[in-house]
Amino acid sequence: MTTHTTRIAVFCSGSGSNFKALFQAIENKQLPAEIVLCLSNRARCGAMEFAEQNGIATVHITEQQFGFFDEFAEAMVERLKKHHIDIILLAGYMRKVPDAVVAAFPERMLNIHPALLPKFGGEGMYGIHVHTAVLGAGETETGATVHFVNEEYDKGEILLQRTVPVLPDDTPETLAARVLECEHRLYPDALEKLLTLPGS
Ligand code: GRF
């Protein structure tokens, strides 16, 4: 039996709490996977600091470092190949992933979104805006979604979803905190599911 350890790159732009939850869960659940790379458009952020503290390689890459968008996309693919990445997990990555990168990882890239897609997804639906929209629509429940990434924002096939109640006195902030807590359990579960899919 071959015991291949799946090599994961996590893409982040912020605090990286999902990244940290994934890192911890891989150890706790003893998943046959390892986060070997943190890629970010920000040189300094919580996620990049956590990676450095835990001996995980980091790549800081932005469009502005390149003359043309295609060069940026090619460089991103090249960095991922250099680290022999099998799977990409987007965890609060605030940039659209270039189509060339998506094409290089078919069915091998996941994103987590803080709502029950297809509701409250698409352009402009990120961070606190999502929870403000959920409250504005008078929803009684919301949740989190892990989905495959394709060329369209928040439109890839859903892998796993979990609901979270909306409480009468919620503010966007209290709702965001409850959803984030759900995300920290959902993303590792989705990763586990991905690793058991045929072909993994
Ligand atoms: C999460 O709410 C996630 O759903 C969204 O961005 C946020 C990232 O938070 N895509 P963190 O950096 O993992 O704390």
Q: Tell me the pLDDT tens digit for each residue of 21-30.
A: 999 999 999 9
Split into its structural domains, the chain has a count of 1
Residue to substitute in 12, 15, 17, 18 for testing ligand 1 pocket (most ligand atoms within 8 angstroms of CB): 18
In a domain, 92, yes or no: yes
In this structure, the residue with its CA closest to atom 9 of ligand 1 is 92
Residue 18 CA to ligand 1 center (angstroms) comes to 6
Exactly one of 113, 129, 131, 184 is catalytic; name it: 113
Q: Tell me the pLDDT tens digit for each residue of 48-106.
A: 999 999 999 999 999 999 999 999 999 999 999 999 999 999 999 999 899 999 999 99
Domain extent for 128: 6-196
Q: What's residue 1's pLDDT?
A: 43
The mean pLDDT value of the chain amounts to 95
Work out the average pLDDT over 110-118.
97
In a domain, 1, yes or no: no
Residues 6+ apart with CB under 8 A from 53: none
Residue 90 CA to ligand 1 center (angstroms) comes to 9
CATH value at residue 46 = 3.40.50.170
Residue 157 CA to ligand 1 center (angstroms) comes to 19
Six-digit token string for 174:
């209290």
Six-digit token string for 35:
């986060």
Q: Does the structure show a pLDDT above 60 at 2?
A: no
CA-angle at 44, arms to 11 and 40, nearest 5°: 20
Work out the average pLDDT over 38-46.
98
In a domain, 48, yes or no: yes
Residue 60 falls in the annotated catalytic set? no
pTM of the model: 0.95
193 sits in which H/E element: helix 172-196
Q: Tell me the pLDDT tens digit for each residue of 139-148.
A: 999 999 999 9
Residue to substitute in 125, 175, 183, 187 for testing ligand 1 pocket (most ligand atoms within 8 angstroms of CB): 183
Dist CA 86 CA 150 (whole Å): 16
